[in-house]
Amino acid sequence: MIVLDKVTKVYKVGETEVHALKGVSLKVRPGDFVFIVGPSGSGKTTLLEIMGGLMTPTSGRVLIDGKDISKFNDWQLSLFRRNRIGFVFQNFNLIPSLTALENVLVPMIPEGITKSLEKRARELLKEMGLGHRLHHTPGQLSGGEKQRVAIARALINEPLIVLADEPTGELDTATGAMIMDYMRKLNKENNLSFVIVTHDVEYIRKSDKLYRIKDGLLHHVRRVG
C-alpha cells in the first residue's frame, strides 16, 4: 500500500516560491486503478514523481509498505525505483538506439541481464502483442507500439505500482483506448495498482478511483464499487 500523508512540495523559481503541492494525502491499495485529473500546472506530475521516488517532498511522508521514502537518499531512491516502481511516460521515453527487447531490459542493465530476465522481457512483449517487434528500434515502431514497449519496461521489475503520466497524451483516441485496455487487463489479472495522471476523462470508468487536483490540492471526486 502507498500512503501519502500531508505531502507538500515547494519549488524555488528565482526569488519566488511555487507551492506545487499544498498538503496532499492519498491512499493507493493493491489492485486500485486510480485516475488523477487536473489542468496543467496543477501539480499532478509533481505528485506522481513524489510517489515514484523521483523527487522528495518538502514536508509530509510517503509510505510505501510502511517505509517512509521521503527520507531516502538519492541512491536508495534509485534502487527503490528500480525494484518497486514502473513508470510510463507521455512521450514513451525509449532509448532510440536500443531494440524493443533491449529497451524493456534497460532498468535491469546495472544489475546484469540474466537469461530469465530476458525470457521475461520477451514474454511481456508477447503479451503486449509485440512478439514480432522484439528487434525493432523505436524509430521503426508506431506510437501505440512504443507505449506498449514502455509498459513492458515498467513491468520488467515486477513493480508494486505503475505510475503513468499522460500515457495516452501522444496517441490517437483508438490507440489511447487500446493502451488503457492493456493497463486495465494488467490491473485485473495481476491485481497490480495503477496511478494514471491524465486530462483525457473519456477513458475513466465508474469502477475507477478518481481524484481531481487543482492548485496543489487533491479532491476525491468519487469512489464507485
Do strands 67-68 and 59-64 pair parallel, antiparallel, or not at all (unpaired)? antiparallel
When asked if residue 95 is in the footprint of other proteins (CB under 8 A), the reply is yes
When asked if residue 49 is in the footprint of other proteins (CB under 8 A), the reply is yes
When asked if residue 109 is in the footprint of other proteins (CB under 8 A), the reply is yes
When asked if residue 18 is in the footprint of other proteins (CB under 8 A), the reply is no
- 3-class DSSP string for 84-146: HEEEECCCCCCCCCCCHHHHHHHHHHHHCCCHHHHHHHHHHHHHCCCCCCCCCCHHHCCHHHH
The residue among 49 and 208 lying less far from other proteins, judged by its C-beta, is 49
**Binding positions for other proteins, 124-163, rule CB under 8 A:** 153, 157
When asked if residue 81 is in the footprint of other proteins (CB under 8 A), the reply is yes
When asked if residue 74 is in the footprint of other proteins (CB under 8 A), the reply is yes
Binding residue (CB under 8 A) for other proteins from 87, 182, 194, 203: 87
Residues in contact with other proteins, counted by CB under 8 A, come to a total of: 25
When asked if residue 78 is in the footprint of other proteins (CB under 8 A), the reply is yes
Nine-digit cell at 110?
546495472
End-to-end C-alpha distance for the chain, whole angstroms: 19
Cα distances from 124 to residues 110, 145, 186, 211, in angstroms, run: 20, 13, 11, 30
When asked if residue 107 is in the footprint of other proteins (CB under 8 A), the reply is yes
Binding residue (CB under 8 A) for other proteins from 19, 22, 61, 82: 82
Output the smallest distance, CB 37 to other proteins, in A: 21
d(CA 7, CA 219): 14
The answer to whether 141 and 116 have CB atoms below 8 angstroms apart is no
- CA atoms within 13 A of residue 167's CA, in its CB half-sphere: 33
Tell me which residues touch other proteins (CB under 8 A): 49, 52, 54-55, 74-75, 78-83, 85, 87, 89, 93, 95, 97-98, 106-107, 109-110, 153, 157
